[in-house]
Structure 1
Amino acid sequence: MASSNSYKLRCSIPAHEMDVRGVAAAVFPEGAFVSVSRDRTGRVWVPNSSSDKGFTEMHCMSGHSNFISCVCIIAPSETYPRGLIATGGNDNNICVFSLDRPQPLFTLKGHKNTVCTLSSGKFGTLLSGSWDTTAKVWLNEKCMMTLQGHTAAVWAVVILPEQGLMLSGSADKTIKLWKAGRCEKTFTGHEDCVRGLAVISNTEFFSCSNDASIRRWLVTGECVEVYYSHTNFIYSLAVFPNSQDFISTGEDRTLRIWRKGECSQTIRLPAQSVWCCCILPNGDIVVGASDGIIRVFTEAEDRMASAEDLQIFENELSKATIDPKTGDLGDIKLEDLPGREHLNEPGNRDGQTRLIKDGQKVEAYQWSVSDDRWMKIGDVVGGSNQQTSKSVMYEGKEYDYVFTIDVNEGGPSMKLPYNVTDDPWLTAHNFLQKNDLSPMFLDQVANFIIENTKGHVVGPAQPGGGDPFTGEFQKIGTAAGFFVLIKRNNEIKKKKCKCLGLALYINNNFICIKVCFHLPLTAKLKELNGGAPQEHKLSEEILESLERLLLSVSGPSSSEPPPTIQQINLLWKASHWPEDIVFPILDIMRLAVRHPQVNESLCGEAEGVQLCNHLLNLMRPEGRPANQMLALRTLCNCFSGRHGRALLMGQRETVLSRAADLATVCNKNIHIALATLVLNYAGCLHHQPDLEAKAQCLSVASRALETVQDKEAVFRLLVALGTTVASDQTAQDLARSLGVSSQISKYSSVSDPSKVGECCQLLLKELQ
């Protein structure tokens, strides 16, 4: 097929009634793509016959109650061989469509503000980003984890093709790399909101920003190149298949094609905001803009528009009006501009702009290398060009209007952001409340909004969403898993699991760390008490009471009477000894919580949270290793009683999150205790349908395996993974999408001890 090596218009599609905010190449039919718009619809477009360069609407999708902000394609599966379409909107929802029906198959709810970016990965994984400052991972219609760490709206997300890595870009100017739900790295360098991300390979990606730059990064953290050419916000990026060349679009009205690191072609459009772009399998480029029109560009001569249609497009471009204050033309002074004769001189590069005076008018021209001439791209005017585009930025979020309000004469001015879909009275109320102003101004502010928006109303009021920087959000974990667990004399035994037809490592109960050296422990306690500061010294009566408690809980055959409430209270009080000497008390507590009466007393509804918080404080990463280990062991042993299990399941998020931080501590005993804790959680969750909790178990176990070296700890973590995914297809799918198989495969050949290699091989088989 002949190629001009320069892109020209293939067709213009008057596709939507409002801004086109997202486009994506479809898997089926061949050559098709999907568009979404602020008009609340998504549309599938299929190419016409070869003699007709245009596209026809296959069908229209609806399901959102407000603007649609983004779209992505979910890869084909056995259930949906043509793939699925996911759309995110200002109603905070994600709708998932098939290609053969206009209504969504299902709707994903969970974000607390606009869903503005989507990306799909292997095994049906979907990643979403929102103004609520979070990204979420979805699988099989469930939210599996929430990625928290950004302090502003998450404008861009992508899933890297391998290793279970995910990226998010935010209005807080940073990009974060996530693995198994944990932020592994934060990339800094952009000077404004990060608006788009695009994958180059397993190890590299692009980002674009409101700072008008594009950056190329290694996933290891280095920015290896910065590209400049745009003169305003850059909204979207797309990479050519099997290439490092890419395209970009932005608020400077342009589509730019980048070859070998240079901007090789600039195509201006007769619309202020060029919101989105994608590349079709044949290399054609699709862009959507604020005028509701989709334009397709091609470098194949046999698909280019007719000379007549090309002239129509050029005429539309020449009639555009350009406000110099928007920065579309760069930093250009309007004084002393040359006349039309300046156009007789050729340009230096494709996309170069020149302003010339023609009488009382100022006109803008752009140099086209392919046509070897200057093309008029519009008239420069003094006032702002009226657009329907939502392109006013305030604190990293888009608004139709941002007003400056002076409520009190002589007082400071305040900013009032407003979208035409908002209720002016609710907006006024929130503005007054936020700025601690009297409600008496409600009518005045609401009427100001109504008057200055000329009564524009494009739909019902948007539900009261929070600011993209301060909106509330919940914390969710992530991860993967498989075996079942059963204790036999404190050992994990291999047992046949008929339901799976596999030999699994099983633990029916919970692993407790029972070993006790009674005499050395009491001797150490007395030694430390002797040297303790006077205000912390324990009386002989208290020491004797703690020793009797230790004897009564040291083993099931103890002849000592059961612990008394007084002894338990003394143990709790003594556990607040100074951190440098408290470890023998913690060791007694670790043994004591296995006893039913102590478990009920310390882990009960009223006291349990205090115990949990105390142990978590001792587990601080900067704390003492002995205290960290014993606090972990105490939590493990809490699982021996129903009150302890209820406490730890209720505090799961916080406990596992703090415990995971100790994986980086170089201490074998800490790692074994950590692995045992995760193992007990996995056993507790095995017969429960709580996917969110299983996701966190998977996350902590898989993350710990990155640093843990001790083979017993590795074995217990592998069993925790197996217990979590056993008999749970959704958990298995999530484990696959997080790259658990590649992470643990190194243990499949371990022969000393053999249980590690055997356990790993069974888990890998389960995750095939």
Structure 2
Amino acid sequence: MVYKLSATLKGHTSDVRALAAPTNDLILSASRDTTAIAWNRTSSGGNEFSNATVLRAGSRYINAVAYVPPTPDAPKGYAATGGQETVINLFDLDKPRDDPNFSLVGHTENVCTLNVSPAGTIISGSWDRTAKVWKNLALAYDLNGHQQSVWAVLIVEEDVFLTGSADKTIRLWNQHKTIHTFTGHQDAVRGLALVPDLGFASCSNDSEVRVWTLGGDLIYSLSGHTSFVYSLSVLPNGGLVSSGEDRSVRVWQDEECSQIIVHPAISVWAVSTLPNGDIVSGTSDGVVRVFSAAPERWAPEEEVKAFEEEVANQALPAQQVGDVKKSDLPGPDALLNPGKKSGEVKMIRNNNDVVEAHKWDSSSGAWQKVGEVVDAVGQGRKQLYEGKEYDYVFDVDIQDGVPPLKLPYNVTDNPYSAAQRFLAANELPPSYLDEVVRFIEKNTAGVSIGTGNEEYVDPYTGASRYRTNDVGSTGGGATEYMDPYTGASRYRAQPQAAPSAAASNLSDPFTGASRYSGTPVAAQTPKVLPVSKAATFKQANVTAMQGKIHQFNDALQQEISTSGLAMYPDERTAIDEIFTALSQLTAVPPKSPSKSIGSSHIEHVAAILDRWPPSQRFPVIDLSRLLLGYCLYALNDSGSKERFIEALFKASEWTAQWSSPLPRHRETNILLLLRSLANAFQDGSGLSATWVNKLLESLGEAPYGILGKNQRIALATVLFNISCLSISSPLDASAQRIYLTVLTSIVASERADSEAAYRTLVALGNTLYGNKQGGALLDGVQSDEIRQAVSAIPNAFPEDRIRSISQETLSLL
């Protein structure tokens, strides 16, 4: 029985983290792109699936999905999703809509696993170290006892449950009581599956699959995976299927690996099986794939061959296959000899002196090329620390002979928040804060203005962030390289001068090479002002943006009541030309667009913004952000920039009544508006007095307290960019008066987010610096207001960068 590719389902734009395959004709997938998708088979017995429904399950990563059986109200059943928003959402698959039909609230951290019984009982596992059982959409049991995150859950019977945890244990529960604890795995338990007539199977980051009886006996272990094993499923014939970090799905029959299905992606996050025995996989390349042992369901030969070539053309990091001495490797003739067992790896040196890795596939009796061995890691895996996933887990040396401390960090974290957590957890003095922040920034190459990263969630994928330019960073580099993908090695930074507030006899928190002793010497704080480099929001997900606009347009076109709002042919042509140009401008390296974007393109975008419903404008506003970021030249005609920005304000409903909380669509539109405005004031832009006055007045109208964190950072970036331009092109007196009023108001009221405060302080300092250089003086009242606001803000944010920029700003008054 040989499995071959049956179908390739493309619709997600980021990692597919979870799958459910309840029937032969339905597959559910969940992704870090913030969506879940219901895929329906297009013809009975065929091998093709269509994207039937996209479920917008939140604005952050979706990590779990499960199928809830039909009810009288939902004859097709429900899709249940869980993720970073901590809520479990249920969507009616018969009548899907934008908002969930039901939401289950109770977890306090990321929901990472779900399972549902035939009777509709739901069990969920979370990073909050608990599992929860829900019956009739209400919480029935809290399962407390695990010491770390609960990564796997399984319903055995209606009141009997299994949970697997990052604490390396599996617990069997009767209602809310633990009746047995299974030990044996050497790392986090990631998946569970019922094995008929035996018990259950588990998989772990220790690369093992284990099969147990419910009484607690280990029946056998399955070894073969070379890295984390993330997911398990059971075939109709009782065989097991597993997937993991080694790019593979493995099929196990009679305690042996019968087939390895290598994928063109590092992480095979999820695997599931259809009732007909087909296997479904979800991977880090965002693709769902179906494999079948039935020849009638195999994909066309050219598609199977293309998949195999894609696998063969992958680059394998040398770290993944072990040390390779090229001169000792055999040539291609070595592949004439059969392998000893399925999964055996053989490396050869081909005629071009390139090292290739091949795996023996016993089911087909042939060697399968799985990639070329290279020296660098191309993509890394998440690191586990205290049961949770992080992009990095640094080893920080504090003293010779003492084990290093662990510093977990995600690229979406604010470095200052991560550093403060690290210092508090290890009882280190707060005087080390800036050192730790510089350490994080240098070793993740993610430096933002003011050294704080905003927690941005791409509205299409949820997977990326904007990175802006460095303002006032004082350096502090690492001399030892660490793999930027796995975080497995140590960074050791250069020894730094002791902070002035440091206590005596404290070790350097990075190197442990020397101790601070005696009387500390106050270090001179470097000057930050003036800052003339603007910070822009140019991160681009062009493909997802284009797809979203066309999806919304098609939906409008299909309804009689909204067909008149859909794009006209010339608008559609203009939109596609814009995306072609943006794809070239955002390429690495950038390319010159084949067709230049002009004022007519901008006018078409403005017309769509004016016509489309508010809830469907966000991808068009985001497109405007990229136009202002990359095609500002198209707005050089007299008044065109002003008219376009007025259209953006109108599209985001800026002048509508402000009330908290803002509707979700308006919140998103305002965020993207502010990011668009920041791009309008990039380096080289002018400051036309009339429209800047009007713009500043409009920005000052928004009640600052209603804005969320990301909106505040975006607003602060707009003001900061204006200040950068004003150094060389000063605002006129009336514009500067309004501008300083807005800045002072934010400094006086911001008490929640230090990054917004820092950017606003730099903007204020830039303006005062320009005034001092030009000999302009503020009136006494405004000067006193600024002094009062700036003097108070270090009390709200006890960070060195806030204190330093506040002192530097006050010195300019």
TM category (shorter chain) comes to 0.5 to 0.7
Residues 241-256 of structure 1 mapped to structure 2, 5 A cutoff:
241=236, 243-256=237-250
- AA aligned to 2:374 is V
Q: Does 1:11 align with 2:11?
A: no
Equivalents in 2 of 1:182, 1:368: separation in Å? 45
CA RMSD of aligned residues (A): 2.5
Correspondence for 2:370 among 364, 373, 377: 377
Equivalents in 1 of 2:208, 2:116: separation in Å? 25
- Residue in 2 that maps onto 1:198: 193
Q: Does 1:31 align with 2:25?
A: yes
- Residue in 2 that maps onto 1:316: 310
- Residue in 2 that maps onto 1:550: none
> 8 Å contact 2:159–2:174 — kept in the other structure?
yes
Which one has a bigger Cα radius of gyration? 1
Q: Does 1:386 align with 2:379?
A: yes
1:51, distance to aligned residue in structure 2 (A) = 9.7
SS in 1 for 2:107: coil
Are residues 311 and 261 of structure 1, via their aligned partners in 2, closer, same or farther at CA, if it must alter by over 3 Å? same
Equivalents in 2 of 1:346, 1:123: separation in Å? 49
Equivalents in 2 of 1:228, 1:457: separation in Å? 42
SS in 1 for 2:355: strand
Q: Does 1:398 align with 2:389?
A: yes
> 8 Å contact 1:422–1:460 — kept in the other structure?
no
SS in 1 for 2:28: strand
Q: Does 1:186 align with 2:181?
A: yes
1:192, distance to aligned residue in structure 2 (A) = 1.6
TM-score by length of 1: 0.55
SS in 2 for 1:172: coil
Are residues 9 and 191 of structure 1, via their aligned partners in 2, closer, same or farther at CA, if it must alter by over 3 Å? same
Q: Deviations over 1:520-546 (max 9, x none)?
A: xxxxxxxxxxxxxxxxxxxxxxxxxxx
> 8 Å contact 1:255–1:267 — kept in the other structure?
yes
1:269, distance to aligned residue in structure 2 (A) = 0.7
SS in 2 for 1:111: coil
Q: Does 1:339 align with 2:331?
A: yes
Are residues 340 and 94 of structure 1, via their aligned partners in 2, closer, same or farther at CA, if it must alter by over 3 Å? same
Percent sequence identity over matched residues? Answer: 44
- Residue in 2 that maps onto 1:139: 135
Correspondence for 2:61 among 67, 78, 81: 67
> 8 Å contact 1:231–1:330 — kept in the other structure?
no
Are residues 222 and 407 of structure 1, via their aligned partners in 2, closer, same or farther at CA, if it must alter by over 3 Å? closer
Correspondence for 1:449 among 440, 453, 473: 440
Q: Does 1:414 align with 2:426?
A: no
SS in 1 for 2:179: strand
- Residue in 2 that maps onto 1:274: 268
1:49, distance to aligned residue in structure 2 (A) = 3.5
> 8 Å contact 1:31–1:282 — kept in the other structure?
no
> 8 Å contact 1:66–1:459 — kept in the other structure?
no
Gaps of 5+ in 2: 447-452, 463-813
Correspondence for 1:115 among 104, 111, 114: 111
Equivalents in 2 of 1:182, 1:335: separation in Å? 60
Q: Does 1:292 align with 2:283?
A: no
- AA aligned to 2:356 is E
SS in 2 for 1:124: coil
SS in 1 for 2:436: helix
> 8 Å contact 2:14–2:32 — kept in the other structure?
yes
Residues 530-569 of structure 1 mapped to structure 2, 5 A cutoff:
none
- AA aligned to 2:294 is A
- AA aligned to 2:172 is L
SS in 1 for 2:423: helix
Q: Deviations over 1:591-612 (max 9, x none)?
A: xxxxxxxxxxxxxxxxxxxxxx
Equivalents in 2 of 1:209, 1:332: separation in Å? 28
1:186, distance to aligned residue in structure 2 (A) = 0.9
Equivalents in 1 of 2:126, 2:324: separation in Å? 36
Equivalents in 2 of 1:460, 1:428: separation in Å? 21
1:65, distance to aligned residue in structure 2 (A) = 3.1
Correspondence for 1:354 among 346, 349, 368: 346
- AA aligned to 2:395 is T
Gaps of 5+ in 1: 463-768
Q: Deviations over 1:167-198 (max 9, x none)?
A: 01111111111002110111112122111100
- AA aligned to 1:67 is Y
- AA aligned to 1:205 is F
SS in 2 for 1:238: strand
1:292, distance to aligned residue in structure 2 (A) = 0.9
1:396, distance to aligned residue in structure 2 (A) = 3.3
Q: Deviations over 1:547-572 (max 9, x none)?
A: xxxxxxxxxxxxxxxxxxxxxxxxxx
Equivalents in 2 of 1:226, 1:412: separation in Å? 33
1:348, distance to aligned residue in structure 2 (A) = 2.3
Are residues 235 and 333 of structure 1, via their aligned partners in 2, closer, same or farther at CA, if it must alter by over 3 Å? farther
Equivalents in 1 of 2:194, 2:274: separation in Å? 16
> 8 Å contact 1:258–1:264 — kept in the other structure?
yes
Equivalents in 1 of 2:383, 2:324: separation in Å? 22
> 8 Å contact 1:171–1:396 — kept in the other structure?
yes
1:449, distance to aligned residue in structure 2 (A) = 2.8
1:163, distance to aligned residue in structure 2 (A) = 6.2
> Higher relative contact order at CA 8 Å, sep ≥6: structure 1 or structure 2?
1
Are residues 349 and 175 of structure 1, via their aligned partners in 2, closer, same or farther at CA, if it must alter by over 3 Å? same
Are residues 439 and 360 of structure 1, via their aligned partners in 2, closer, same or farther at CA, if it must alter by over 3 Å? farther
> 8 Å contact 2:414–2:455 — kept in the other structure?
no
1:409, distance to aligned residue in structure 2 (A) = 9.2
- Residue in 2 that maps onto 1:641: none
Q: Deviations over 1:286-318 (max 9, x none)?
A: 100111111110111121112211121111111
> 8 Å contact 1:244–1:260 — kept in the other structure?
no
Equivalents in 1 of 2:158, 2:43: separation in Å? 41
> 8 Å contact 1:275–1:290 — kept in the other structure?
yes
- Residue in 2 that maps onto 1:79: 73
Equivalents in 1 of 2:220, 2:333: separation in Å? 38
> 8 Å contact 2:266–2:379 — kept in the other structure?
no
